[in-house]
Amino acid sequence: MSHWTAADIPDQTGRTFVITGANSGIGLSAARELAAKGARIVLAVRNTGKGEAAARTIKGETEVRRLDLADLESVREFAEAQGAFDVLINNAGVMNVAEQRTKDGFELQFGTNHLGHFALTNLLLPKIGERVVVVASGAHRIGRINLDDLNWEHTRYQRYRAYGQAKLANLLFMTELQRRLTEAGSPVKAVGAHPGYAATNLQSHAPSKLENAAMAIGNRIFAQSGDMGALPTLFAATQDLPGDAYIGPGGPGEMRGYPAPANRSGAAKDREMARKLWERSEQLTGVSFGLTTKVAGVEQKA
């Protein structure tokens, strides 16, 4: 794994990747590298105009389709129209934004980063051939899952902690998804990745102009490039890994560097919380596990 780069991606001819938020940042970097290796890329984006512009910078076969993760109706429409494919990369997200609500009334960061991808993944599971890649963040360490107030309706909103909760939810989702896939006898794997500190436009949406300016300076001085930040995602998407594996930059503090096994917080390893969060997510989205599981030789809905 030492100094693994995009040049080490094996031939991807004949494989299709669906990448959410592939019109910019890490998603676009990953799309370019996978397409260069022969993959067909479906850019699942909220703004198709930006998606088309991004697709024109990719050398290879692409398709742009609208997906708004903050709208469960849009998620269902996307999943229904999508054909069979190989790898889903749950990359899209929002970060540290002012308090807002999705179309369905969820807190925007939790609703987009977790619930939107939760619904999308389960609706697409019967069509996924190989794996689901969940893009998380080191910010999961500041997160806490409040099952009684996941959408910040009764707690004073703190945007950084809301982002941390959403990213912690991503990792708990990955773990519980893999458990259910294994129980169902599915060959599909759920793995995760995080980019470390990468310079992308994700950090530029804070409600404070001063904070955005400070983040821009930090990006120029301390952050690694978006292309480097995409390497853990690319590694997780193309290498032989066990389910529930988690990949990040291998440098100090997992902030930068080449792909390596990543650490996660104790809260991210809480399997009981992962189960409870899954059940609550099903209640909120109306979407359940997308495959059947076999119990005593009888197929049952998980």
Integer Cα distance of 188 and 219 in angstroms = 36
* Domain total in the chain: 1
In a domain, 201, yes or no: yes
Is 163 an active-site residue? Answer: yes
Query: Does residue 171 contact residue 140 with C-beta atoms inside 8 Å?
Result: yes
Q: Which structure tokens are listed for 38?
A: 């022969």
Summarised one tens digit per residue, pLDDT across range 195-250 is: 998 776 654 444 655 554 445 445 554 568 889 999 999 999 999 999 999 999 99
- Residue 266 belongs to domain with CATH number: 3.40.50.720
Query: Which pLDDT does position 226 carry in this prediction?
Result: 84
* Mean of all residue pLDDT scores within the chain: 92
Q: Is 215 exposed, middle or buried (0-12, 13-18, 19+ CB in 10 A)?
A: buried
pLDDT above 80 (res 180):
yes
Q: Which of 163, 197, 246, 258 is catalytic?
A: 163
Predicted TM-score of the model (pTM): 0.90
Question: Distance of CA 81 to CAs 117, 184, 270, Å?
Answer: 16, 24, 35
Token pair for 224: 């690694």
Q: List all residues 6 or more positions away from 158 whose beta carbon is below 8 Å from its beta carbon.
A: none
Q: What is the pLDDT of residues 34-56, one digit of tens each?
A: 999 999 999 999 999 999 999 99
Q: Are 107 and 159 in contact (CB under 8 A)?
A: no
- At 247 the pLDDT is 98
| Residues 36, 57 contacting (CB under 8 angstroms) | no
Which residue, among 38, 66, 35, 41, has the nearest Cα to 51 in the 3D structure?
Answer: 66
So what's the pLDDT on residue 219?
Answer: 54
Least confident of 226-230, 264-268, 289-293: 289-293
Query: Between 117-124 and 271-285, two packed helices, what is the crossing angle to 10 degrees?
Result: 90
Max Cα-Cα span within the chain = 60
Domain-located, residue 262? yes
Q: What is the dihedral of CA 171, 32, 84, 261, to 10 degrees?
A: -30
In a domain, 200, yes or no: yes
Kind and range of the H or E run holding 101? none
Single-letter code of the amino acid located at 283:
Q
**Domain-embedded: residue 298:** no
**What value does the mean pLDDT take over residues 297-302?**
52
**Given pLDDT bands bounded at 50, 70 and 90, which one contains residue 252?**
confident
pLDDT at 297: 47
> How confident is the model at residue 224, as a pLDDT?
84
At 220, which amino acid appears? R
Does residue 100 surpass a pLDDT of 90? yes
Share of the chain above pLDDT 70, in %: 88
| pLDDT at residue 241, as a whole number | 98
Q: Hey, which residues does 62 pair with through a beta bridge?
A: 41
pLDDT at 124 over 70: yes
Q: State the average pLDDT over residues 180-188.
A: 98
Per the domain annotation, does 149 fall within a domain?
yes
Structural domain harbouring 225: 6-288
Residue 262 CB partners (closer than 8 Å, separation 6+):
192, 193, 194, 232, 246, 247, 248, 249, 254
Q: Is 122 a domain residue?
A: yes
Q: Which of 16, 21, 53, 54 is nearest to 35 (CA)?
A: 16
Q: Establish if 301 belongs to a structural domain.
A: no
Give 110 or 292, the one with higher predicted confidence. 110
- Neighbouring C-beta atoms of residue 222, cutoff 10 Å: 11
Per-state percent for the chain, helix, strand, coil, to nearest 5:
45, 20, 40
Q: Per the domain annotation, does 296 fall within a domain?
A: no
Would you state the pLDDT for residue 137? Answer: 96
pLDDT at 30: 98
